[in-house]
């Protein structure tokens, strides 16, 4: 399935998107997770965030999404060269997504479309991730792969230029990984930025990428 | 529809599908009041005098029983973070969740009061006074329970602490709510107690909603 | 605000407390010595209450300190909430347990004072009930410090302290109104004898001594917290190494 053709809005280019983090540090309890992390993303690019469990990947991602307050440091997000708020530019996906128990997939998807103020609830985003057949399944009954695909369809529907994803490939089979990689590739190709935590970074063709590694201190 | 209405609509749908979690407060109220009546000897004449305070207490305790439904579930599954990224302010989230808590978990307790009051031989004038007082105090009860809910929403088990945090805040509402209900047959709705009770509800809105919003932000942002 | 922002730096605070803490401690001891002599031996008996009136000299200052400590907590909480000063958190936290102890002392001495008059250890007297509710608020405040890591707990505690502070006058008014509604007029209230110089002097000395004692306990509490925070920072734990490289 080609996301680009089945979801044409994905081709409208983003311009002047950037994420600038300087001197970030995070303390949890008595523990300093990381110190003085600076990251500047000025061009469409994919950043893999890598490191062992518990080292602070999720914390770093949540800080970059404007959800956690860093203990020191400063963050700025830009579209068209102008500073914007996190809500203007960021889609954030926690591991396994955030589908609500007790709602069907279609209800959950429609709820977030309305909360995000999307003009129309587009079935195309669900089609693009092959979820149309599962619309009436309760979200707690979705498989891991289906939950990850629901997350992708939200990214497609939200149309935000900066994607911050925590383990979007976990629990996916080969074709699922290929589809995710393809959607991420299209996002970078249209001028977007992605920050992705993963245990198992895939190589994505024709996509500028860097690795940010949080390593165990010596 | 506004985000507040969307959230309330979703919460009502979830409550209807939750396997009856919305009714635990009612079940508690029935058990609590039945045990009180038995412990007090079961004479309707004695029970009648105590019925208004006992029904008030049962409603306060029953509302604390549902405290984890206000914010904790949305906090744990990541919904709260997405609300923030959807430009909803903490104040909007706190208002919406407090409203849906009042509608789903508190209103049924008040609406069934006429049934419970029959176990205590409560007269119809007293019953009207009791229901009016409860309805006027509903915002204060919902908001102060929600403040504790917001303070404790990142904690797995906070039932014990919820009672300690909420009880002092609800003492004025309890005092004037019971007095208003007891005074209704003499002084009617114009009684000073009703006006003070309404004032307490307004104060709770002014203090409690911002406090809930601030506590949500603190728990979310670290 | 000047003195607060000056002391907000922990190093400066420690320099200040190095002199202030022992000073407060000694003033409290001297004040209590003089105050106890004046109130237990030097002051006259009261006609109706006899020796019982002497409980007033330990009761009234305790009630003052209970209230003052909570006011201090609310003020420090406001500073911490608005300006995120970590030292204000420490100050609020350090006042909590002394405040709760003074509140309990107020209740105990009030009960002892009322016993001969009431014939029971407890009456739902308006003022006693308000102090009991204040003790509940203190217990909630102390408990909330333990529900999360310090940074978050401090913010939650500050919110709770401010909500409690706004509610205290409302609670006090409600309880006093409720008390007049339910108590028969024959139950007499704890009442201080009319203020003469012989009574006022020991009371003021005791009030000052209690205040210095509260100040000493709060300063010791802040010092202890600063030491604990410093120790936690010094435990050998290094942050993760960060490398950014082309994939």
Q: Where are the domains of chain A?
A: 3-98+161-213
Residues of B in contact with A100 (CB under 8 A): 10, 14, 77, 79
More confident residue, B175 or C39: B175
Local confidence band at C194 (pLDDT 50, 70, 90 cut-offs):
low
The predicted model gives C82-105 an average pLDDT of: 94
Is C109 within a domain? yes
With a cut of 60, say whether residue A2 has pLDDT above it: no
Asked whether the beta carbons of residue A201 and residue C237 sit closer than 8 angstroms, the reply is: no
Max mean pLDDT range (A81-85, C68-72, C150-154): C68-72
C191 interfacial to chain B (CB closer than 8 Å): no
Asked whether the beta carbons of residue A115 and residue B88 sit closer than 8 angstroms, the reply is: yes
Of B6, B10, B78, the CB nearest to A98: B78
What domain range is C164 assigned to? 14-179+196-226
Max mean pLDDT range (A140-149, B120-129, C40-49, C101-110): C101-110
Averaged pLDDT of chain B: 93
Nearest CA in chain A to C236: A31
Residues of B in contact with C163 (CB under 8 A): 147, 169, 207-208, 211
Of C149, C151, C239, the CB nearest to A32: C239
Q: Give the CATH number for residue C76.
A: 1.20.120
Q: Are C42 and C60 in contact (CB under 8 A)?
A: no
B168 interfacial to chain C (CB closer than 8 Å): yes
CA distance C80 to chain B (A): 13
More confident residue, C1 or A68: A68
Q: For position A5, what pLDDT does the model report?
A: 46
Local confidence band at C193 (pLDDT 50, 70, 90 cut-offs):
low
Q: For position C149, what pLDDT does the model report?
A: 87
Is C184 within a domain? no
pLDDT (tens digit per residue) in A73-98: 999 999 998 999 999 999 999 998 99
With a cut of 70, say whether residue C4 has pLDDT above it: no
Q: For position A8, what pLDDT does the model report?
A: 52
CA distance C33 to C39: 10
B3 interfacial to chain A (CB closer than 8 Å): yes
Q: Which long-range contacts (CB under 8 A, 24 or more apart) does B122-125 make?
A: B122/B48, B122/B51, B122/B52, B123/B48, B123/B185, B125/B184, B125/B185
With a cut of 50, say whether residue A4 has pLDDT above it: no
Q: Which strand (E) or helix (H) includes residue A78?
A: strand A72-79
Q: For position C187, what pLDDT does the model report?
A: 44
Averaged pLDDT of chain A: 88
Is C234 within a domain? no
CA distance B125 to B165: 34
C186 interfacial to chain A (CB closer than 8 Å): no
Asked whether the beta carbons of residue A201 and residue C151 sit closer than 8 angstroms, the reply is: no
The predicted model gives C112-121 an average pLDDT of: 86
With a cut of 70, say whether residue C184 has pLDDT above it: no
Which pair of tokens denotes residue C55?
């409980």
Q: Which 8-state DSSP code applies to residue A143? A: -
Instruction: Choose the weakest-confidence range: A79-83, C123-127, C159-163.
Output: C123-127
Local confidence band at B130 (pLDDT 50, 70, 90 cut-offs):
very high
A2 interfacial to chain C (CB closer than 8 Å): no
C66 interfacial to chain B (CB closer than 8 Å): no
CA distance C63 to C107: 9
With a cut of 60, say whether residue A153 has pLDDT above it: yes
Q: For position C232, what pLDDT does the model report?
A: 79
**b vs e for B158-195, b when ≥16 Cβ sit within 10 Å of the residue's Cβ?**
beebbbbbbbbbbbbbbbbbbbbbbbbeeeeeebebbe
Q: What is the pTM of this model?
A: 0.92
Residues of B in contact with A92 (CB under 8 A): 81-82, 85
Instruction: Choose the weakest-confidence range: A123-127, A144-148, A213-217, C85-89.
Output: A123-127
Local confidence band at A3 (pLDDT 50, 70, 90 cut-offs):
very low
Is C4 within a domain? no
The predicted model gives C162-185 an average pLDDT of: 85
Of A66, A68, A115, the CB nearest to B6: A115
* Whole-number Cα distances in Å, A3 to A128, A191, C74: 5, 16, 56
B172 interfacial to chain C (CB closer than 8 Å): yes
Local confidence band at A9 (pLDDT 50, 70, 90 cut-offs):
low
CA distance B17 to chain C (A): 31
**Helix axis angle, B44-65 relative to B24-39, nearest 10°?**
150
Q: For position C136, what pLDDT does the model report?
A: 96
Asked whether the beta carbons of residue A30 and residue C237 sit closer than 8 angstroms, the reply is: yes
Averaged pLDDT of chain C: 87
The predicted model gives C160-175 an average pLDDT of: 93
Q: Characterize the bridge pairing of strands A193-197 and C241-246.
A: unpaired
Q: What is the DSSP string of B10-21?
A: HHHHHHHTTTSG
CA distance B130 to B119: 15
Is C209 within a domain? yes
Which pair of tokens denotes residue C67?
């209230």
CA distance C230 to A8: 57
Q: For position C42, what pLDDT does the model report?
A: 79
Q: How many structural domains does chain C have?
A: 1
Say how many C-beta atoms besides its own lie within 10 A of residue B23's C-beta.
13
Q: Where are the alpha helices (DSSP H) in chain B?
A: 3-16, 24-39, 44-65, 72-76, 79-85, 90-101, 107-111, 113-118, 124-151, 159-187, 192-221
Instruction: Choose the weakest-confidence range: A84-88, C26-30, C192-196.
Output: C192-196
CA distance C232 to A124: 53
What percent of chain B is modeled with pLDDT above 90? 78
With a cut of 80, say whether residue C5 has pLDDT above it: no
Of C136, C148, C163, the CB nearest to B147: C163
pLDDT (tens digit per residue) in B59-88: 999 999 989 889 999 999 999 999 999 999
Q: For position C54, what pLDDT does the model report?
A: 86
Q: For position C25, what pLDDT does the model report?
A: 95
Q: Given this structure, which CATH class describes domain A3-98+161-213?
A: alpha beta
pLDDT (tens digit per residue) in B18-67: 888 889 999 999 999 999 999 999 888 889 989 999 999 999 999 999 89
């Amino acid at each position: 399935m080609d996301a680009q053709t089945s979801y044409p809005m994905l081709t409208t280019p983003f311009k002047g998107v950037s994420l600038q983090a300087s001197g970030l540090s995070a303390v949890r309890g008595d523990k300093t997770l990381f110190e003085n992390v600076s990251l500047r993303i000025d061009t469409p690019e994919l950043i893999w965030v890598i490191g062992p469990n518990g080292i602070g990947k999720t914390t770093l991602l949540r800080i970059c999404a404007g959800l956690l307050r860093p203990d020191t440091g400063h963050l700025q997000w830009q579209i068209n060269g102008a500073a914007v708020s996190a809500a203007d530019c960021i889609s954030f996906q926690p591991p396994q997504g955030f589908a609500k128990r007790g709602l069907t997939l279609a209800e959950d998807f429609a709820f977030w479309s309305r909360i995000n103020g999307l003009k129309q609830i587009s079935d195309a985003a669900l089609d693009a991730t092959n979820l149309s057949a599962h619309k009436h399944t309760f979200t707690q009954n979705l498989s891991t792969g289906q939950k990850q695909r629901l997350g992708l369809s939200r990214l497609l529907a939200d149309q935000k230029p900066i994607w911050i994803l925590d383990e979007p490939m976990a629990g996916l089979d080969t074709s699922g990984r290929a589809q995710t990689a393809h959607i991420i590739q299209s996002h970078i190709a249209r001028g977007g930025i992605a920050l992705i935590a993963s245990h198992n970074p895939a190589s994505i063709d024709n996509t500028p990428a860097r690795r940010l590694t949080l390593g165990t201190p010596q | 529809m506004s985000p507040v209405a969307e959230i309330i609509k979703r919460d009502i749908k979830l409550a209807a599908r939750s396997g009856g979690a919305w009714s635990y407060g009612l079940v508690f109220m029935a058990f609590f009041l039945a045990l009180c009546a038995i412990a007090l000897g079961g004479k309707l004449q004695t029970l009648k005098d105590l019925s208004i305070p006992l029904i008030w207490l049962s409603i306060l305790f029953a509302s604390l029983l549902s405290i984890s439904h206000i914010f904790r579930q949305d906090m744990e599954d990541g919904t709260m973070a997405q609300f923030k990224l959807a430009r909803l302010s903490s104040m909007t989230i706190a208002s919406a969740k407090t409203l849906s808590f009042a509608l789903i978990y508190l209103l049924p307790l008040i609406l069934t009061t006429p049934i419970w009051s029959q176990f205590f031989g409560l007269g119809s004038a007293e019953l009207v006074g009791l229901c009016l007082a409860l309805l006027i105090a509903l915002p204060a009860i919902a908001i102060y329970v929600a403040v504790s809910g917001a303070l404790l929403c990142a904690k797995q088990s906070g039932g014990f602490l919820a009672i300690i945090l909420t009880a002092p805040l609800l003492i004025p509402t309890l005092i004037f709510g019971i007095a208003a209900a007891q005074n209704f047959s003499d002084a009617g709705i114009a009684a000073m107690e009703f006006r003070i009770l309404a004032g307490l509800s307004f104060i709770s809105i002014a203090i409690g909603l911002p406090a809930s919003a601030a506590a949500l932000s603190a728990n979310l942002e670290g | 605000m000047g003195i607060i922002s000056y002391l907000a730096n922990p190093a400066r605070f420690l320099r200040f407390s190095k002199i202030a803490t022992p000073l407060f401690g000694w003033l409290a001891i001297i004040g209590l010595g003089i105050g106890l002599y004046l109130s237990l031996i030097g002051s006259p008996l009261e006609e109706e209450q006899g020796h019982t009136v002497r409980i007033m000299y330990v009761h009234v200052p305790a009630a003052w300190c209970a209230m003052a400590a909570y006011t201090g907590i609310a003020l420090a909480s406001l500073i911490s909430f608005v300006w995120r000063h970590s030292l204000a958190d420490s100050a609020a936290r350090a006042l909590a347990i002394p405040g709760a102890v003074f509140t309990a002392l107020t209740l105990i001495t009030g009960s002892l004072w009322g016993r001969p008059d009431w014939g029971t250890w407890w009456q739902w007297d308006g003022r006693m009930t308000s102090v009991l509710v204040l003790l509940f608020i203190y217990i909630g405040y102390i408990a909330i410090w333990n529900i999360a890591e310090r940074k978050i707990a401090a913010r939650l505690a500050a919110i709770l302290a401010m909500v409690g502070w706004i509610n205290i006058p409302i609670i006090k008014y409600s309880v006093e109104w409720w008390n007049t509604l339910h108590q028969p007029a024959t139950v007499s209230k704890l009442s201080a004898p009319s203020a003469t110089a012989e009574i006022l002097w020991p009371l003021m000395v005791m009030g000052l001594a209690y205040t210095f004692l509260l100040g000493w306990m709060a300063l010791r509490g802040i010092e202890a917290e600063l030491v604990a925070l410093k120790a936690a920072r010094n435990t050998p734990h290094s942050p993760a190494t960060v490398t950014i490289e082309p994939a």
